[in-house]
Amino acid sequence: MVSWTFLSNHAHVLLCVAADPDSTLHAIAARVGITERGVQLVLRDLIDEGYLERERVGRRNHYRIHPEGRLRHPLEAHHRVADLVAALGLDERAAPGR
């Protein structure tokens, strides 16, 4: 296990949702390497701050990213969420929530 990474768990969860807006907590937790409860807390932060929307579809959740959201740190605040998703090689169509 590595001792640190360049991106936060918030960024990792956001990127997982960008890649698969219908992903489960279990799947995201496995990819990011945190607990399902940790994913829930991160998703709540991202929803509360307007970076994501959650829609209930049957028994599952569907997430929609707000690609126009600005990154939070002053060093990156001139970049949008869509820029982060694009820079890390994800399909841009996934960023708006398909």
pLDDT tens track for 57-82? 999 999 999 999 999 999 999 999 99
Pick the CATH number of 9-88 from 3.40.50.300, 1.10.10.10, 3.90.440.10, 3.40.50.10320: 1.10.10.10
First to last CA, the chain: 33
Give the tens place of pLDDT for each residue, 79-91: 999 999 999 966 5
- Residue 6 phi, psi (nearest 5): -75, -25
Whether residue 17 is predicted with pLDDT greater than 90 in this model: the reply is: yes
> Distance between CA atoms of 3 and 21, rounded to whole angstroms?
29
Distance (Å, rounded) from C-alpha 56 to C-alpha 7?
A: 28
Position 94 confidence tier, pLDDT thresholds 50, 70, 90: very low
